[in-house]
A = this chain, B = another copy of it.
C-alpha cells in the first residue's frame, strides 16, 4: 500500500494538530515497536464533535463520527511521538468507551467509525483487535473515548 501520508491525502483527510502535551500525562508514548496513545476524545478544531449520552441525546451516526475523529486524534498523537505519520505501520488494538444509555447496546456500530478509518488507511495492517464497552460517564461529557496501540515500522 501507499504510505499512510499518501492514503490520508487520497481520502481527503488531514491529520489534526497533535493534542497539546499536558502537564501530567502524554498524548502518546513509544515502547519498542509499539506506540500507546492516551484515551482520545472527539475534539475537532477545539470543540467536541459528539457530546452527551449515546442512545439518549446522541444518535449512532453522530457517535460514529465522534469515534472516527477520536481515532484521527489518536493517530496524530502517535505520529508526533513516533516521528511522523509514515512511521506508523499498522494498528494493534483499539479500546473504545461509549458514554451509553443503560439500554443502548450498539457500541460496536459506534466504534466502527474508528475501525473503518484504520482499515482505509492501513489496509490489512490496520486490522486490529477491539473492545467496545458502554460506560456511565466520560470526561467533559464526551460521547466516546478511543485508546489505541499502533505498530511502528
Name A residues whose Cβ lies closer than 8 Å to a Cβ of B.
23-29, 31-34, 36-39, 53, 55, 92-95, 97-98, 100-108, 112, 115-116, 119, 127-141, 145, 147, 149, 151
Contacts and interface: CB of A to CB of B under 8 A. Distances in A.
Contacts of A130: 24-25, 38-39
B133 A134 contact: no
B25 A97 contact: no
A6 to B, nearest CB: 22
Given A133-B97, A137-B104, A138-B105, A128 B29 contact: yes
Contact of A132 (B36, B39, B94, B128): B39
B131 A38 contact: yes
Q: How many copies does the complex hold?
A: 3
Which of A27, A106, A135, A140 has its CB near the most chain B CB atoms (within 10 A)? A135
Contact of A26 (B34, B102, B127): B127
Contact of A106 (B23, B112, B131, B139): B139
Contacts of A151: 31
A137 B39 contact: no
A116 to B, nearest CB: 6
Given A24-B112, A25-B127, A127-B26, A139 B135 contact: no
Contacts of A32: 32-33
B25 A128 contact: yes
Given A24-B116, A28-B129, A133-B137, 6 more contacts: A25-B94, A25-B129, A39-B132, A97-B133, A101-B136, A107-B138
